[in-house]
């Protein structure tokens, strides 16, 4: 999966990221872990790769990283911000 680039703009500021979806005229703000996942989603990644990125960045347990990743990806899917939802 990968973050949609058509009609989406995002900018990271002080560890947080603001995403603007021009097609729906909505914006979202993420925390530091969301920003980490968005940076990874600039390229095609699997859910496991995303969770590994959280483990590496924050030293959290793998099961928590998987749960956090699943919740974040679900939110991106609901807002149609992913190019692909294949895992």
85 within domain boundaries: no
Q: Is residue 86 part of a domain?
A: no
Average pLDDT over the chain, rounded to an integer: 92
pLDDT of residue 87: 42
CATH code for the domain of 45? 1.10.10
Question: What's the pTM value of the predicted model, to 2 decimals?
Answer: 0.89
Domain that holds residue 33: 8-78
* Residue 71 included in any domain: yes
- Check residue 15 and give its pLDDT: 82
Domain count, the chain: 1
Flag whether 87 is in a domain.
no
pLDDT higher than 70, residue 48? yes
Long-range CB pairs of 2-9 (<8 Å, 24+ gap) are 2/41, 2/42, 2/43, 2/44, 2/45, 2/82, 2/83, 2/84, 3/38, 3/41, 3/42, 3/76, 3/81, 3/82, 3/83, 4/80, 4/81, 4/82, 4/83, 5/83, 8/81
């Amino acid at each position: 999966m990968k973050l949609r680039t058509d009609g989406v703009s995002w900018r990271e500021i002080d560890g947080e990221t603001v995403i603007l979806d021009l097609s729906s005229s909505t914006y979202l703000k993420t925390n530091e872990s969301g920003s980490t996942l968005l940076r990874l989603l600039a390229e095609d990644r699997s859910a496991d790769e995303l969770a590994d990125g959280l483990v590496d960045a924050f030293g959290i347990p793998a099961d928590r990283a998987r749960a956090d990743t699943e919740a974040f990806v679900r939110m991106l899917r609901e807002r149609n911000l992913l190019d692909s939802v294949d895992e």
